[in-house]
Amino acid sequence: MPQHIMMYCQHLLGVGHLYRLARIAAACLQSGFKVTIVAGGERTSQSLFTGCDWVQLPPIKVPDASFSELVTVDGQPVSASYWQQRQQVLMDTIKKTSPDVFLVEMYPFGRRAFRHELTPILAALKAQGACKIMCSLRDILVDKFVREPQRQDWVIHQLEQYFDAVLVHGDEQFIRLQDTFPAAARITSLLYYTGYVGPELDTLTPEIATLTSAEPRQEVVVSAGSSAVAEQMMMALLAARPYSTVAHWTWRFLLGPRSSNRLRQALSAANKDMALGGIKVEGLRDDFVSLLASAGLSISQAGYNTVMDVLVAQCPALLLPFANTEETEQLFRAQRLSAIGCCYYVQAEQLSPQALAECIDKAVSLNPKVSPSPITLGGQWQTVNIIKRWLNDESA
């Protein structure tokens, strides 16, 4: 009977967490594991998790990018009974499947509001002793952890009490966990760096090698995934486009499912300017990496998954990181990538159209094909290796 991994993921705004987890789940399936996904966010396509069992908790989301409150899909506050429903589904699933590994995405470093449903589950699994409990963590945390030592203490307590390992999906030589979570020095025995989780290099390399050996198309690919805050970025780019030296290129805008009619109308109106290049408007592309590999420029936010796609495609890139006083992850990542010459970055809300156009022109001049990124990829496979070692009692 195959060993069983249960993966818990609670996305709140975008679906980047799910995309990273999907790549890890695929690697686990290919390595012979049975995988169950327990999803707590808004219902989304399960096609990313083909071959996995899927359990949907009563969904919870945030109404906007402030992350100030949790609500149901109907926009109502989350009641005590709603929390109990979620916890019961989670508990019943664990009893039914008896997982060998419970992999929790982000928690306890994030999603602290979900401690009410997770703490009893973690305590029960720990008491039984048969299931390994691991945290699946992205490379960068947000500033509130740096500012609040008490929050760090709480995270450390949770890890020491319940968790066997923290799998950091990053490269320690590029960004260390302690760069954004100073208390990481207290849990070094739990930390395992997997490398970055990105597109499958083995399957993409032949195609991308062909694309990148040719002259790049005169095309700008603008993407923002499924983020609900993409519209501001795209409107700023439309305003800057006429002032750029690549205004005559084709601009391809990939819109997420939450894109507004206002944005679509603005793109349609801009496409009527015959003095500029054409505008193409499409949905999200399954061949996104291949599209970037032959493009002259990628413009995107600086989310984890998009950055990995850009690095694999070796495409000149301008990053416009989403950032506010609480969410600084994308800005930090963009700054580090810019420092090693992998991209150019700018905070578009601070720039005039002319200044943003100048940044676009600078990004076009980058040549990542000459100096590929030194960042370690293939993190999904190292994740599998670490899990196997734990299950075979080969851990430290």
Mean pLDDT of the chain: 89
Is residue 25 over pLDDT 90? yes
Same domain, 78 and 210: no
Mean pLDDT of the 212-219 span: 73
In a domain, 372, yes or no: no
pLDDT at 1: 78
How far apart are alpha carbons 64 and 229 in whole angstroms?
Answer: 9
| Residue predicted with more confidence, 22 or 367 | 22
* pLDDT tens digits, 253-267: 998 777 788 888 999
* Lowest-pLDDT choice from 87-101, 107-121, 211-225: 211-225
Is residue 58 over pLDDT 60? yes
* Sole residue written with tokens 């760069």: 179
Is residue 201 over pLDDT 60? no
In a domain, 139, yes or no: yes
Same domain, 180 and 257: no
Is residue 59 over pLDDT 70? yes
In a domain, 173, yes or no: yes
Task: Provide the pLDDT confidence category of residue 396 given band limits of 50, 70 and 90.
Answer: very low
Same domain, 70 and 215: no
* Sole residue written with tokens 């601070």: 350
Mean pLDDT of the 137-145 span: 87
List CB contacts of 147: < 8 A, sequence separation 6 or more.
none
How far apart are alpha carbons 392 and 41 in whole angstroms?
Answer: 33
Same domain, 336 and 382: no
* pLDDT tens digits, 268-320: 999 998 889 999 999 888 889 999 999 999 999 999 999 999 998 889 999 99
pLDDT at 106: 94
pLDDT at 66: 61
How many domains, the chain? 2
Residues in the chain: 396
In a domain, 386, yes or no: yes
Is residue 202 over pLDDT 60? no
Task: Provide the pLDDT confidence category of residue 154 given band limits of 50, 70 and 90.
Answer: very high
In a domain, 353, yes or no: yes
Instruction: Give the domain extent around 101.
Output: 4-197+378-391
Look up the CATH number of the domain holding residue 264.
3.40.50.2000
Same domain, 151 and 253: no
- Enter the tokens of residue 383: 């994740």
How far apart are alpha carbons 380 and 364 in whole angstroms?
Answer: 31
% of the chain with per-residue pLDDT over 90? 65
Same domain, 164 and 66: yes
3-state secondary structure the chain: CCCEEEEEECCCCCCHHHHHHHHHHHHHHHCCCEEEEEECCCCCCCHHHCCCEEEECCCEECCCCCCCCCEECCCCECCHHHHHHHHHHHHHHHHHHCCCEEEEECCCCCCHHHHHHHHHHHHHHHHHCCCEEEEEECCCCCHHHHHCHHHHHHHHHHHHHHCCEEEECCCCCCCCHHHCCHHHHHHHHHEEECCCCCCCHHHHHHHHHHHHHCCCEEEEEEECCCCCCHHHHHHHHHHHHHHCCCCCCEEEEECCCCCCHHHHHHHHHHCCCCCCCCEEEECCCCCHHHHHHCEEEEEECCCHHHHHHHHHHCCCEEECCCCCCCCCHHHHHHHHHHHCCCCEECCHHHCCHHHHHHHHHHHHCCCCCCCCCCCCCCHHHHHHHHHHHHHCCCCC
In a domain, 373, yes or no: no
Mean pLDDT of the 40-59 span: 88
In a domain, 371, yes or no: no
Q: Are 393 and 279 in contact (CB under 8 A)?
A: no
The model carries a pTM of: 0.89
Mean pLDDT of the 177-195 span: 96
| Residue predicted with more confidence, 233 or 249 | 249
Q: Are 196 and 375 in contact (CB under 8 A)?
A: yes
Residue 320 φ/ψ region, left for φ over 0, alpha for ψ in the -120 to 50 degree band, beta for the rest: beta
Same domain, 131 and 211: no
Mean pLDDT of the 175-200 span: 94
Same domain, 137 and 225: no
In a domain, 396, yes or no: no
| Residue predicted with more confidence, 356 or 74 | 356
Is residue 327 over pLDDT 90? no
Same domain, 113 and 17: yes
Is residue 211 over pLDDT 60? no
Is residue 395 over pLDDT 50? no
Task: Provide the pLDDT confidence category of residue 206 given band limits of 50, 70 and 90.
Answer: low
For 265-283, letters b (16+ CB in 10 Å) and e give ebbeebbeeeebbebebee
Same domain, 245 and 232: yes
Same domain, 62 and 80: yes
Same domain, 359 and 384: no
